[in-house]
Amino acid sequence: MPVQTPFLQITPVLLALALVATGVGSADAAQGIAQYGKPKYADGFPHFDYVNPNAPKGGTLVLPNPGQRTSFDKFNPFTLRGITAPGIELMFESLAEGSADETSSVYGLLADNIEVAKDRKSVTFHIRPEAKFSDGSPVLAADVKNSFDVLMSGKAHPRYKTTFAEITSAVVVSDRVVRFEFKSDNSELPILAGTLPIFSRNWGKRPDGTVIPFDKLAFEAPIGSGPYLIESFKAGKSIVYKKNPQYWADQLSKPLNIRVGFYNFDRVLYKLYSDDAVRLEAFKAGEFDALVEYRAKIWAKGYVGPKFDNGTLLKKAFLNHNGAGMQGFAMNIRKPIFQDPRVRQALGLALDFEWLNRQIFFDQYGRINSYFTNSDLSANFDGPSKPTEAELKLLKPLKAKYPQWVPDAVFGPMPPAPSTKPPGSLRQNLRQARELLMHAGWQYRDGALRNQKGEPFRIEMVENGGFFLRVLSAYGRNLEKLGIELDIRTSDFALYQKRMNDYDFDMTTVRFQDSQNPGSELWDRFGSHAAKEKGSDNVIGIQSPVVDALVEEITRAQNRDQLRTAARALDRVLWNSYYVVPQWYNPTHRVAFRKEMRYPEPPLYYQAESWIMQNWWKEGSK
């Protein structure tokens, strides 16, 4: 299960703008650009290939709470505290937006034109004259600048300052022309600038002219440019979005190509249920239209009954080509017990994936074997090979400068995740784990594994809800054989999120978001600075100059080959540092839905919840 984080719209987006004096030469302007090479779709394309341009419009899409949130207490998705209402992204747009059948290309949305300076130290967007906010006011360059300035301030979630750190400023050139200036010629930055979520300067302004501080905005309706408005809500229980009858993209004389086949429902209603079991029974009772299932056993055993037998309800596993990334039990290395890599490696040896897959998961999963699993960026993509010469050019100087941060194993074949397949066994793995723990100063005595001070080895595993309880029980039994006590703490989403924001845990489950083209988001996930920022994605607490240097190489890559080399080098360092006990992945999205629901062929890269909301429709809609 993914770790839920506040909304951060970093879908690749970008627009091109008419030539504006920038002090340097500029490249050709266009509606779309790519980080490497050219975008798939040329200017003037009618629509993305993966949509149904003739999808009927109308009807209401009813969905359950996505992920594990069971309530909400705010509409502002850009601040740290609180839980955002589901679907709030329907109200916000950015200057550009990416397609789901290519990597790292973007096309104009709020902007109709973009220019990247020849030195790639800035990008300029021209905002469409038709673009308007939900209150009818025009989207202007001043709103773009205000959005950037607010998100980079201390009033927004800290991850924005990390992710957009190399964008130095947003400059208002004219009413509808805005230029973003960069610290370097990083080829990702023009795309990143385009993904900035845009909101009106008037959001939070009271009738008397006073303004509510941004970090205090709660149930004040956002003023964004997105296709939907909030029609009604019951705090923490449900929320209804209705299609804005004056949505700017529907008022154009010619359909906007990147919106053709999108947002086909008049209304989107989210109902929040108290737990997964209640949600599944509500679906069977016909209370909502579609459900994405993440639990293998429930998918195999729970989606049965008369309505599945008679075809009223359907279930299907949709293939995707998403990079699977990393999912696993993450160790908070801010805690002293996890600072020795031998200890971390030992904890990985205690997980018996083969038993779990056989006994609990109905053999539906493959093993995570990389931080870029299911992608050519994985150092294991071609099997357990040694680093290439290009990788060694990055790794050897780092080893010489920071020997303690580059494990020796990095220079050999990528080791597989621990396995109990014959001739291996759990017993062998636990023996190896015991040896590692002994060399790290932990010995079994007086009924527990203890350090030289006599302190017992105890781990508090913090989880959101009871999703992993059966897995954790099995894992805990194996740890107990080593003399380690696993204390499992489950909580509701609000308390769980607070503990994550404060790094108040020993271990927890992480799911690092998939990316086909990783870049600046890695600073927030693995960067040293983010480890010190409250609420960052660096829940592990990595503060490694080597990891920082390799993330820098990834963000500086000028082509796919350079990106692949840097990503694989980073993969080797992270994997051999044993920060996470790797879990499993599934290359499909499991979706159950009512028979009236219709969908186009899925794109290459997509998240199921977004695909349903954006591109599905309902038979008989009017």
Instruction: Provide the mean pLDDT of the chain.
Output: 92
Report yes or no: 98 and 104 within 8 Å, Cβ to Cβ.
yes
Residue 612 domain-assigned? yes
Instruction: State mean pLDDT over 468-487.
Output: 96
Query: What is the DSSP code string of 334-388?
Result: TSGGG-SHHHHHHHHHT--HHHHHHHTSTT--EE--STTBTSTTSTTTTSSPPPP
Instruction: For residues 480 and 552, state if they share a domain.
Output: yes
Residue 7 domain-assigned? no
* DSSP 8-state code for residue 483: T
Instruction: For residues 51 and 63, state if they share a domain.
Output: yes
- Model confidence at 25: pLDDT above 90: no
| Confidence at residue 104, expressed as pLDDT on a 0 to 100 scale | 85
- Model confidence at 4: pLDDT above 70: no
Residue 36 domain-assigned? yes
The CA–CA distances, whole Å, from 90 to 86, 153, 201, 222, 610 equal: 9, 24, 18, 11, 10
Q: Which helix (H) or strand (E) holds 592?
A: strand 588-594
- Model confidence at 605: pLDDT above 50: yes
Residue 24 domain-assigned? no
Residue 15 domain-assigned? no
Instruction: For residues 612 and 483, state if they share a domain.
Output: no
Give residue-wise pLDDT tens across range 548-561.
999 999 999 988 99
Question: In a 3-state reduction of DSSP, which class is residue 238?
Answer: strand
Q: What is the CATH number of the domain that holds 380?
A: 3.10.105.10
Instruction: For residues 530 and 458, state if they share a domain.
Output: yes
Strand ranges (E), 159-278? 167-174, 177-182, 197-198, 228-234, 238-243, 267-271
| Confidence at residue 235, expressed as pLDDT on a 0 to 100 scale | 84
Instruction: For residues 164 and 193, state if they share a domain.
Output: yes
| Confidence at residue 22, expressed as pLDDT on a 0 to 100 scale | 30
Cα angle at 411 between 406 and 415, to 5 degrees? 95
Instruction: For residues 249 and 309, state if they share a domain.
Output: no
Instruction: State mean pLDDT over 449-477.
Output: 94
Instruction: State mean pLDDT over 230-243.
Output: 95
Instruction: For residues 181 and 301, state if they share a domain.
Output: no
Report yes or no: 177 and 124 within 8 Å, Cβ to Cβ.
yes
Domain count, the chain: 3
Peptide bond into 423 cis (omega under 30): yes
- Model confidence at 576: pLDDT above 80: yes
Residue 399 domain-assigned? yes
Of 258, 94, 101, 257, which Cα lies nearest the Cα of 190?
Answer: 94
pTM recorded for the entire structure: 0.86
Of 88-97, 298-307, 472-481, 513-522, the least confident? 513-522
| Confidence at residue 1, expressed as pLDDT on a 0 to 100 scale | 31
Instruction: For residues 105 and 76, state if they share a domain.
Output: yes
Instruction: For residues 210 and 359, state if they share a domain.
Output: no
Instruction: For residues 427 and 509, state if they share a domain.
Output: yes
Q: Which domain holds residue 443?
A: 327-585
Q: What is the CATH number of the domain that holds 188?
A: 3.40.190.10
Give residue-wise pLDDT tens across range 413-443.
999 999 999 999 999 999 999 999 999 999 9
Give residue-wise pLDDT tens across range 527-539.
999 999 999 999 9
Give residue-wise pLDDT tens across range 407-419.
999 999 999 999 9
Instruction: For residues 368 and 468, state if they share a domain.
Output: yes
| Confidence at residue 27, expressed as pLDDT on a 0 to 100 scale | 46
Q: Residue 346 and residue 357: Cα distance in Å, rounded?
A: 21
Report yes or no: 131 and 506 within 8 Å, Cβ to Cβ.
no
Q: How confident is the model at residue 26 (pLDDT cuts 50, 70, 90)?
A: very low
| Confidence at residue 276, expressed as pLDDT on a 0 to 100 scale | 87
Q: Residue 405 and residue 421: Cα distance in Å, rounded?
A: 31
- Model confidence at 3: pLDDT above 80: no
* DSSP 8-state code for residue 456: B
Residue 474 domain-assigned? yes
Give residue-wise pLDDT tens across range 153-179.
989 999 999 889 999 999 999 999 999
Q: Which helix (H) or strand (E) holds 481?
A: helix 469-481
Residue 181 domain-assigned? yes
Instruction: For residues 133 and 249, state if they share a domain.
Output: yes
**Among residues of the chain, what percentage have pLDDT more than 90?**
83
